[in-house]
Structure 1
Amino acid sequence: MTAVLGAVIGLLLLGLAMQNRRFRRDSRQLKYIHEKLNDILSRNSRERLLLFSSSPELRMLLTDMNRLLDTNHEGIARRNKLEKSMRQMLANVSHDLKTPLTVVLGYIETLLQDRDMNAEERERLLKTIYRKAEEVITLMNTFFDLAKLESGDRELPLSRVEAGEVCRRNILAFYDTLSVKGTEVVIEIPDEPCYIRGNEEALDRILSNLLSNAITYGADGGVLGLKLYSDKNTVYIEVWDQGKGISADHQDKVFERLYTLEDSRNRVYQGSGLGLTITKRLTEQMNGKITLISQPFVRTAFTAAFPRLNF
């Protein structure tokens, strides 16, 4: 009996010893995790927590903590990108406002100092001042428009829109510009109506932006095309040219807010880098999607796709 009791006590003591040993090991590992995690966070490192452990619970904890670290890294990257974008925005706004305002102030100073200026020259300077002031107002309105679109404060009223009519109207608006440039125009618009659920004013602006973009940056190709086509569920509006195009490195960036690389084609509004961004936002507000395919001097095409109304 005494021997049995001794054996039981011995087993209990052995179990306690093993448990105590496991506790000390887990404690060391948890302390290591704590210190390593603080080090990773303090350095904004992309390092992950690595620890060999026989404890399934501890392995699960490490997996979850590494997922949180990945999420934190992604958040930091997005924040850094946003801060860079904001700095670029401030630089763009400063530059785009400063340029016309400098001209305005210079011409006003000339008018004030030259009291003997003839009427014809005075009128020319006043017209230039007026035009530059309009540029400033247009630029400011463009920034406000984008701010409203991105904040969600501006909801577009949607109704039935005949896309063919809007396409014809917009290409006609650029007829004189295209004629002066000697650009060949290829128009493919079906006679039968293509209806979408959209906003006619917004669709006008989308097409105006895309056509302006193609004329400004694709004119060296000598050809501009506007194509409207559809399938059972979707209506497509494609604006294309054969100009210098957009390199593959930049094609996924041209719709980004304030992307203003000099080689890009997103500088529709006085170099502000907002034209294609607004185009994308308006397209999305009409439940559509816009895409770009570009092969320099072969075909650069922006295609806006909208759900079709089949009645």
Structure 2
Amino acid sequence: MVFFLIMIIVILIGFIFFQYSTQKNKDEDLRYIYEKLQNILEKQTAVKLLVVTDNKELQKLLVAINHLLVAMQTTKADQAKVEISMRKMLSNISHDLKTPLTVVLGYVEMLHTDPTMTEDERQVILKKVHMKTIEVMELIHKFFDLAKLESGDKEIELTRINLNEVCQDNILSFYDLLIAKGFSVDIDIPNEQLYGHGNTAVLSRVLNNLISNAITYGEDGKTLGMTLRSDEKTVYIDIWDKGKGISESHIDKVFERMYTLEDSRNRIYQGSGLGLTITKRLVEALGGEIHLSSKPYDKTVFTILLKRMNY
């Protein structure tokens, strides 16, 4: 009987010691986690918490903390990217506004200070001032359009639209210009009527932007094409040209705010860098996607993907 009691006491002492040891290890683990988190937050490092433990609840806590750390680090990286993009955008738009306004100011000073100027000369200068003013207004409108799209303030009503008609109307509106510039035009629109989930006015603006872009950057190839195709769930619109194209290193950047190709330094290619960004945001507002592939002087293709609607 005494031996039995001694065994019980030994077991109880062992259990108490085990609990104490476990609690001590848990306290040490929690202390380590706290100190490590403090270090990560102070130094803004990208490391994760690694603790070897058999405690299931502590393991769950570590997994949750590491998920939060990853989310925080991702948010920080995205924020840094946005800040860099915004600084670049403000720098570029300041430059793009300053250039035509400086020209306008120069013309106004000429009109104001030159009493010998003839009426015909004044009319020529006034026409140039008018054109530059329109250029500035268009840039400002693009900037605010992009701001509205990215803030979600611009509501777009989505309905079932006939894509055959939208594509035909838009490519035909450029047909005379294309022929005058010596382009050959390749239009591949099927007889079958294809319908998509979208907005006629918004899609027309997208196609307008892409066709204008193809005329400007694809002029060397003297070929422009439009293809309308589909599968069971998606309708695809391809706008393509055979011009100088876009190198692989630039493809992922062309839809970024204020991004312009190196050729934008050349006056005939100069642009605000907002056109393709607005185009992408408009396509996304339609619930679609836009992709780009390019092989210089072979084929550069912008492809719009929209949800197909049969009924």
TM-score, normalising length: structure 2: 0.89
My pick for the range that moved more, 192-201 or 40-49, is: 192-201
Report if the CA contact (8 A) 1:139-1:269 is conserved.
no
Matched, 1:194 2:201: no
Cα distance in 1, alignment partners of residues 103 and 178 from structure 2: 29
- Once the two structures are TM-superposed, the CA of residue 200 in structure 1 deviates from its matched residue by 2.0
**Residues 21-170 of structure 1 correspond to what in structure 2 (within 5 A)?**
21-170=21-170
Q: Secondary structure at the match of 1:303?
A: strand
Q: In the alignment, what sits opposite 1:222?
A: 222
Quote how far apart the aligned CAs of 1:191 are. Answer: 4.3
- For residue 270 of structure 1, report the CA deviation from its aligned partner: 6.0
Change (3 A) 1:70 1:10: same
Is the deviation greater in 37-46 or in 269-278? 269-278
Alignment partners' CA distance in 1, 2:23 and 2:233:
64
Secondary structure of 2:99's match? helix
One-letter amino acid of the structure 2 residue matched with residue 279 of structure 1:
T
**Deviations 1:215-240, CA, capped at 9 Å, x for gaps:** 11111222111122334444322110
Task: Single out whichever of 225-234 and 271-280 deviates more from structure 2.
Answer: 225-234
Out of 108-117 and 228-237, give the one that drifted further: 228-237
Does the 8 A contact of 2:111 with 2:122 survive in 1? yes
Residue matched to 1:285: 285
Cα distance in 1 for residues equivalent to 2:285 and 2:101: 34
- Is the Cα contact below 8 Å between 2:263 and 2:270 reproduced in 1? no
Paired amino acid for 1:81: K
User: CA shift at 1:263, angstroms?
Assistant: 6.2
TM-score by length of 1: 0.89
Is the CA contact (8 Å cut-off) linking 1:197 and 1:309 kept in structure 2? yes
SS at match of 1:130: helix
* Distance of aligned partners of 1:21 and 1:153 in 2 relative to their CA distance in 1, 3 Å threshold: same
How far apart are the structure 2 equivalents of 1:246 and 1:309? 33
Shift of 1:118: 1.5
Write the letter of the residue equivalent to 1:297. Answer: Y
3-state SS of paired residue (2:235): strand
- Unaligned ranges ≥5, structure 1: none
The answer to whether the 8 Å contact 1:294/1:301 transfers is yes
Shift of 1:254: 2.3
**Count of equivalent residues:** 308
Check whether the contact 2:255–2:280 (CA below 8 A) recurs between aligned residues. Answer: yes
What CA distance in whole angstroms lies between the structure 2 residues aligned with 1:190 and 1:18? 78
Deviation at 1:205, TM superposition (A): 0.7
Give the partner amino acid of 2:248. A
RMSD of the alignment, in Å? 2.4
Q: Percent identity?
A: 52
Alpha-carbon shift at residue 120 of structure 1 (Å): 1.8
Is the Cα–Cα contact under 8 Å of residues 217 and 269 in structure 2 kept in the other structure?
no
Residue 198 of structure 1: CA displacement?
2.9
Q: Which residue of 2 aligns with 1:12?
A: 12
| Cα shift at 1:273 | 2.1
- Which AA in structure 2 matches 1:295? K
1:151-210 deviation line (CA, Å, top 9, x unaligned): 222222344433333323322332343234322221223345433343222122111100
CA distance in 2, matches of 1:104, 1:276: 27
Change (3 A) 1:5 1:149: same
- Verify the 8 A CA contact 1:139 1:270 in the aligned structure 2: no
How far is the alpha carbon of 1:103 from its aligned partner?
0.7
Aligned partner of residue 133 in structure 2, secondary structure: helix
SS of the residue corresponding to residue 305 of structure 2 reads strand
- Secondary structure of 2:49's aligned partner: coil
Quick one: distance in 2 between partners of 1:25 and 1:168?
73
Residue matched to 2:204: 204
Q: Report if the CA contact (8 A) 1:96-1:270 is conserved.
A: no
Query: Cα offset for 1:139?
Result: 0.9
Counterpart residue number, 1:238? 238
- Cα distance in 1, alignment partners of residues 196 and 61 from structure 2: 51
Which shifted more, 132-141 or 223-232? 223-232
User: The residue matched to 1:249 in structure 2 has which SS?
Assistant: helix
The answer as to whether partners of 1:225 and 1:241 remain within 8 angstroms in 2 is yes
Q: Using the TM superposition, name which of 284-293 and 26-35 deviates more.
A: 284-293
Q: Which runs of 5+ in 2 are unaligned?
A: none
> Which amino acid is 2:254 matched to?
V
